[in-house]
Chain A
């Protein structure tokens, strides 16, 4: 009997990436939520280098780094819903853009919403440029990974999940339908996938919690 545990923090979009992955593959797991300010001995033991979630614990063995965890899940539970394609060139391409998500787009978007006034205006152009690149990735496909949801959608899922709540709470629009028609359509499709739709917290909860305290906006 496989024992799968996930150490998470609320409301981290990076933790949700792993939740979606586990649900897509139909893997049963148990999730415990860590408190940033008061990290459990379990977290410190399982991720001594970064002391951060998410950590996947499979049969008592920890795996850290969300994208590393996703590849691990994909390689271990090979038969259900593959995340990465078979072709090495396509795999390289998805890995490249997944890295781009985490190193460029996520910090730009979060940075943008964190800023105010003139600083925010100045950051808008670079942020939009990153989003334009992601828009171009969609081409004629429904999903970033192609016809079906895959690794790249899981990597960029934070954008689908968090963009509206961030826009609602900050009162600033980033993804408008005219400039980003494909990205907006992808966002809707991604949020409708059962694995995503059934994951907590949902959009309304995110908005309510963010509105309550802008400090927790960034997890």
Chain B
């Protein structure tokens, strides 16, 4: 009842007022009513940088039968910063209205006002409402706004710093940004704004925005932490089952948002962690769908997926992989399943074998074993297994843990044998077996050969290296078998038939040889097909400088690319036809993959030889190892060194013979010449070497010969003279011996005519015997003085251990101390020729019978006794 009376008390004046207006305006009463139409109950709210305004229509607006247009003006310090219109349809009149607007600047910085007015048709109501957001409360520190904002990378942000009263602004910046990137604006004495483009995502702890100021003479600062990142952009949700009991949903995570991002699988109780959501599920329910929501402060992304989980079985890896049987060339693998449900599924499993790669997959229900074929004997293998369902292949399981096994050993594989002929020798060579071919350590190789006709016995030799040289009768063909042996036995023999000299065989003589050019790191060799080739062709090649390092390849076609060859190395390539008998050499080639400029000293032993007016320069044969390009010839240039001007003529001579080792310059004058020798290659001249030669005239040579001859003669004569001078005494003794004066005594004068007869006939035997002191008596001791010799003047002490002798000091060198009686030393008249003389150390064996005295020409050395007879001569 009370409410009814209140309503009446309100309605009655309203009705009366309406009636009054209606009657007084003569038909314009409606306009008078709507004059009162306007907003009421305007309220403002704000969060972050958003203003929300709510208001209602004045009841008078209900009379307006047309749409109302509310105009909102946002004012900051009486300046309009935003203008907006809100249209209210007649049906909405009387309801509450809502308007929001987001400022680019923190609202705390501006304290904006909202002015709300309404108009309809062309009439603007005078009724307005204004609201103002409360400003920030006063603080003792600078305050930065907005607080803890979130921005997207690349967006423009505006921060403001509100100083306390009396504060002085110093600076405002974002940590990690250049100061120049921001634009600072003074809004009023207490407010400053910083505007900049945020081009760097923030760290997990945000990016600080700092405002520095001076407050009460104290520098201080404050700030806020902004987060700058990206909205989520995850994609590709995929749900699957691994254990047939639960579901795993995964998705591709987009770029790092740099913001906390929540993930939720909508409508499920799945637990989400990082990039996976998991939950228990009945996998046999058929098709179903999932929705993932990724959300952060900058946005939300929803991903969906739908599938029958039995078509999305992502198996777990096989467990406990082992080899149940391991043989020489096969093995059987077994594994187990952690999920028992897998045993009912049709599975396809793939085995990855080290050195061999993935094997052909096997399939079967609950597959848990497989057999590996074609394994290499004596070989270590690592094997892993992975599986997936056969009926609905979804994803392979991850690879199982590795199982290692080693196959049993076996005899070696057959050898690849080839041969090279040179003169009468045949080099049988075979490729060393690789580890996967030898099946164990090769102990030795056995080479067996016999005449192809079988008329000879088998010859056998065993070697440990990969070649053997046979000296065979080249008129016949031989069958050569080579086997390799390891601890498991010998390989099957590899047979090669040697050609006979009567056939073309492999003898390069008479076979067409040519040069070839390489490219791309090798030679592209092609040749004409041969009707003799019944089993393909054999191409062998080696560096021309080392034929023993030959290698070969057997090909069915008539071309091959030989690769991995060195540039600047000359290679010899032979092409042979493979026949049922001996191989037939078709052609040989020689070339470089790429010729390189010859480096180094090519003409190492360059020498010259003048013959008349010609000078021949020669050098050693240039080894192939130094020829990094084909030498096409040599050039010899020379110029006269005595003509130093620029117009000096340079002469040259050349040869196109690569094997040449000399060149001759002719018509040379007597002068000094500079000779330059060079090699010519396809890359130009190279290896220049100079030699300076002085060319002499013929007269000069004659004079030189004469001078040398005269000098030689003079030298000989001088030598003879010196020798003669030094040995003059002996020479004189031999050529002109002193003649002792005859001793004429009375006795002698009274002697018979028989004695006179002795004198006339020269020294008699008796006279010779008259000099007994010079002869050593048989059996007399050497160095023993004759009885009538006077005692020595001095005596030197005898060396220890030797018997003392009074003559040891006086006759140190008996040959040197030999005394020779000259004319001047002859005894005085009246004396006989029996003068004392030291006994020379004569060897009785060398002593000639009848000799009287020795004389040594080279007495300083070992005495060479010369017998000098003291023959009394008559004056």
A and B: partners? no
